[in-house]
Amino acid sequence: MIRTLEELVENLKSGSPKRVVVANGEDENTIEAAHRAAVEKIALMTLVGDKNKIETLCKEKNLDPSMFDIIDEKEEIKAGKIARDMVRNKKGDCLMKGLIGTEKYMRLILDKEEGLIPKGNILSHLTVIDSPFYQKTHNKLLFVSDVAVIPQPTLQEKIKMLEYLISAAKSFGIEKPKAAILTANEKVSDKMPATMDAAIIAKMADRGQIKGAIVDGPLAFDVAVSKESCEIKGLKSPVGGDADILIFPNIEAANIFYKTTTYLGGSKLAAVVIGATAPCVLTSRSDDEDSKFYSIALGCRVARGDM
């Protein structure tokens, strides 16, 4: 069982490195993360962007530019298309967002003619969180969705998000992951549609329509991760206090959690878009080197077919 993001990195070193192609890869944190991935031999890195900027940043940060394959393209969208097309044409195993806007990056992936999404597939954003609090209390990672792609997920989209996360958790060695479908409280109410969705998903899992996990909902965040909260509230749940998977009701709740656990909670994280023909690393331009490095590692793990 992989319990930390560092263990994920170590696990990757035992296999052949995958090729990660960075769209407009000319920002400081991305270049540092890409260099670290190349040095630690978990990935082969191709940077598509302004070669002069890349080499100047390497010089400033005392990094070796020969660790990268650099494709010189100064224009943002053209750089994105080159990177996307390399992955589409199997010249790369994983796409990564560099200094390109999220909307532009996603449009490249979603393009009906030249994109990376198979017809009928649902894209979702998988985040793996290495939280100091959760490590201390549970000694394991959290698998979270969706903080960046699906704004207001429907019932069917939540089911797909859950299936992606179950597969991811299992690939990390969690035999029977526990999934919490999160809402503001544990009561089902037609005034709170998210609670209705959560109850439906939990019942579907009970009846074997969703396989491979123990699922409960609706659950508030506190009872999903804290056994003490369950005891105080008198809640009996097969998931309560021990969740591996968190499905959020909408992007606002998930994104705020994502940033709060990082900035105030000191969590490390890895993030990738799944559902495309290849994993697509999607981090914020403001995310630090560690987050981008671990996201490269997660993208490589998905590309290896381990989930």
- Residue 216, amino acid: D
Q: Which two tokens stand for residue 222?
A: 């506190």
Q: Is 242 helix (H, G, I), strand (E, B) or coil?
A: coil
pLDDT at residue 306 in the model: 64
Q: Is 169 helix (H, G, I), strand (E, B) or coil?
A: helix
Write 7-14 long-range contacts (CB < 8 A, 24+).
8/128, 8/172, 8/270, 8/294, 8/297, 8/298, 8/301, 9/40, 9/42, 9/294, 9/297, 11/301, 12/42, 12/297, 12/300, 12/301, 12/304, 13/40, 13/41, 13/42
Cα angle, residue 170 at apex, residues 288 and 115 outer, rounded to 5°? 60
The CATH number corresponding to 5-120+276-303 among 3.30.450.40, 3.30.1330.20, 3.20.190.10, 3.40.50.10950 equals 3.40.50.10950
Does the CA dihedral 148-225-214-230 come out positive or negative?
negative
How does pLDDT run across 145-181, given as a tens digit for each residue? Answer: 999 999 999 999 999 999 999 999 999 999 999 999 9
- Can you tell me the distance from the alpha carbon of 204 to that of 210, in angstroms, rounded to the nearest whole number? 6
Q: Where are the domains of the chain?
A: 5-120+276-303, 124-263
CATH fold group of domain 124-263:
Isopropylmalate Dehydrogenase (3.40.718)
Average pLDDT over the chain reads: 96
pLDDT at residue 120 in the model: 86
Cα angle, residue 145 at apex, residues 258 and 214 outer, rounded to 5°? 120
Which portions of the chain are predicted below pLDDT 70?
A: 306-307
CB 261 within 8 A of CB 129: yes
pLDDT at residue 182 in the model: 98
Q: Which two tokens stand for residue 218?
A: 């609706």
pLDDT at residue 119 in the model: 87
- Can you tell me the distance from the alpha carbon of 271 to that of 289, in angstroms, rounded to the nearest whole number? 13
CB 50 within 8 A of CB 99: no
The pTM of this model reads: 0.94
